[in-house]
């Protein structure tokens, strides 16, 4: 299985979007850069901000497209093409409506589920066969909110939701070493396996 050479966080540029649910991918890749001691710099030829990070002995590109969400493919294709990075060597980190806050999933390929960032990357690369780390943000219906999806993703999560997202973001950073070593199945197993809660203590007789 191919090792990951490019990690892309999806989001929208501009301070007005910094804390919105749609920027969960930016939150994740920013946290990874801090952990690695890497700094993002504006790269005009890659249409966004890029950083070179050394993680677990391997050199990896980090990318935040600066094109807004629905044109994310332009940045991804530019960097991947320049460094000859194959789709199967790319991990895209994005917000996921179909998972609740506090959950994440890793997968290769598949549909876009209406996510405009994924749709544009698939079109730009000519294939959907890249890796995705799906960070759950919940859906307005399941969270009991009377919001349209477009409005929901462009607003910040409630305090309890943000705490759950941040905790899962921290936990999911733990799979990076397996991803860049090409152990994607091990990464999936680690991410998707959760310890069972301890049984409640027996009631006194």
The token pair at 48 is: 């966004």
Q: How many CB atoms lie within 10 A of CB 84?
A: 8
**pLDDT tens, residue by residue, 93-136:** 999 999 999 999 999 999 988 899 999 999 999 999 999 999 99
Is residue 73 within 8 A of residue 82, CB to CB? The reply is no
Please say if 115 is a catalytic residue.
no
Q: Where are the domains of the chain?
A: 6-192
**pLDDT tens, residue by residue, 146-195:** 899 999 999 999 999 999 999 999 999 999 999 999 999 999 999 998 75
Q: What are the angstrom distances between the C-alpha of 180 and each of 14, 44, 109?
A: 30, 26, 18
CATH 3.90.1300.10 is right for the domain spanning 6-192: no
CA 97 to CA 101: how far, in whole Å?
A: 9
Classified as helix, coil or strand, 199 is: coil
- Give pTM, 2 decimals: 0.92
DSSP bridge partners of 65: 48
The token pair at 80 is: 């991947």
């Amino acid at each position: 299985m191919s090792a990951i050479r490019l990690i892309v966080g999806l989001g929208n540029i501009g301070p007005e979007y910094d804390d919105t649910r749609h920027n969960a991918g930016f939150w994740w890749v920013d946290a990874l850069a801090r952990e690695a001691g890497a700094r993002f710099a504006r790269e005009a030829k890659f249409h966004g901000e890029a950083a070179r990070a050394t993680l677990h002995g391997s050199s990896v590109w980090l990318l935040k497209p600066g094109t807004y969400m629905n044109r994310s493919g332009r940045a991804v294709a530019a960097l991947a093409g320049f460094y000859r990075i194959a789709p199967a060597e790319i991990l895209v980190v994005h917000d996921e409506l179909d998972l609740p806050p506090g959950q994440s999933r890793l997968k290769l390929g598949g549909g876009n589920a209406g996510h405009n960032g994924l749709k544009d990357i698939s079109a730009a690369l000519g294939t959907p066969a890249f890796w995705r780390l799906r960070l759950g943000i919940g859906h307005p219906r399941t969270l009991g909110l009377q919001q349209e999806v477009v409005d929901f993703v462009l607003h910040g999560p409630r305090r309890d939701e943000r705490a759950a997202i941040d905790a899962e973001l921290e936990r999911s950073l733990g799979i990076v070493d397996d991803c860049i070593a090409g152990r994607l199945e091990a990464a999936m197993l680690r991410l998707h396996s959760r310890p069972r809660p301890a049984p409640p203590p027996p009631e006194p007789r």
